Chain A
Amino acid sequence: MGKYFDKEKLELLKAQFDTAEYDAEQAEPAIYIGKEQLLGLMRVLRETPTYAFDRMSNLTAVDYKEYFEMVYSLYSRRFDMWITVKVKLDHDKPEVESMTQIWEGTNFEERETYDLMGINFIHHPDLRRILMPDNYDAHPLRKDFVPLEPKIEGGVLTWHKQKSMS
């Protein structure tokens, strides 16, 4: 993998965005940002000619039980350079701005994250389930997920919460 975004530039970003933080001890620190400033930071990363992060290589979410964390791995083809951006989201109401506003190619990946992790992407053009059935009311990759029970009602496959064991 190419070189990581250097710390001088990270310092610059930190000066520009007051919610930006990173762990200076790490060799390749991810930059944490408040979700309100995420879109602004991403625009800067993509549009500043000295950064030019033109590829959203990977986009996913992790469930840490108390909170969700969105993880974006950005790659700059011009400078062969990496950066990881992370955003912490509230566990009760996880929502974040959609990156399709900057990288159109994140459409399916955001739909997948919505489907499996239940993150709500604001301003996404077509936020629907992509892998699970449309009438499935749960998000499988969450840590508290309990599989739903399939049932056929009037010829239609429906999904129901399991009765509690107690």
Chain B
Amino acid sequence: MDPSLLPGFLLRRVAKAAIVVLAIVVCNFFLIHAAPGDPASVIAGQSGAADERFIAQLREQFGLDRPLLVQLWIYVKGVLTLDLGFSHRQQVGVATLILERLPATLLLTGAAFLFAVGLGVTLGALAAGRVGRWADSLITVLALTFYATPIFWVGLMLVLVFSVWLEWLPSFGMMTVGADITGLARVPDVAKHLLLPALTLGLFYMAVYARLTRATMLEVADQDFVKTARAKGVPEGQVVRKHVLRNALLPVITFAGIQAGQLIGGSILVETVFAWPGIGRLAFEALLARDYPVLMGVFFVTSVMVVVFNLVTDLLYAVIDPRVEVSG
């Protein structure tokens, strides 16, 4: 890759991405407002008592009494100045709400991602190297099992074994609350809470990576340049690492790029089952409460992340495979 091409490439990609994100913002706005009910009717429904003045007051306070296009214009203007708005329901700025919850989700999905890619690629490579033998069969069966098992069931079983029977790990939450654990002592505490949800979220993807790596490695291993490498006497370990695995990684990276985007939203279920205070639950609860600004804020942040992950994936291609060139 020619480094001098990079700034121009990045600039073009960012400009494109900005347009995409803006289009997403506008689409989201209309989609969300098309859902029946509004925050005022939800609050009235939850309060157990209401009158027309109460609902009118709430609509006015939330700015819902204005025409939809005016509301859209106010929102887009806000987003352009990086102001994500205000949750009137919770009386807190949307950016604050999202920033409070984003680290928890990034920790969970990051851990699940590393676990899935690391173990998946390793197992896939191991299986490919022992094709047809018992290790290969074992790994294939394991991968297929996790691939086919619903994620919530995996979560429940993990909780049953590790929290209820063995009592090794907590079944919910992100940290021990009220035990005055501060500073570095937090790290093992959070790690203990992280283990089960990250495993639950990661196992499915781990299976996908294992199968993908195994399949592509077997395919690459048959190609001429691998035979050449072997013929000229390159040690087998080096052939596998440098020639086979490296070339087999491209599809894995493509898939990882897609998965990284999905992980942010895909963690809603795991966050709910494990009471993990992340952004997925924030979005889901905002949807139920019709808390429009929060929902749109989460969509905005996640769409920006998907765009960023795609960009990183494209750059990674070029790093792994020098034949791939960056271009707008």
Do A and B come from the same complex? no
Q: Which residues of A contact B (CB under 8 A)?
A: none
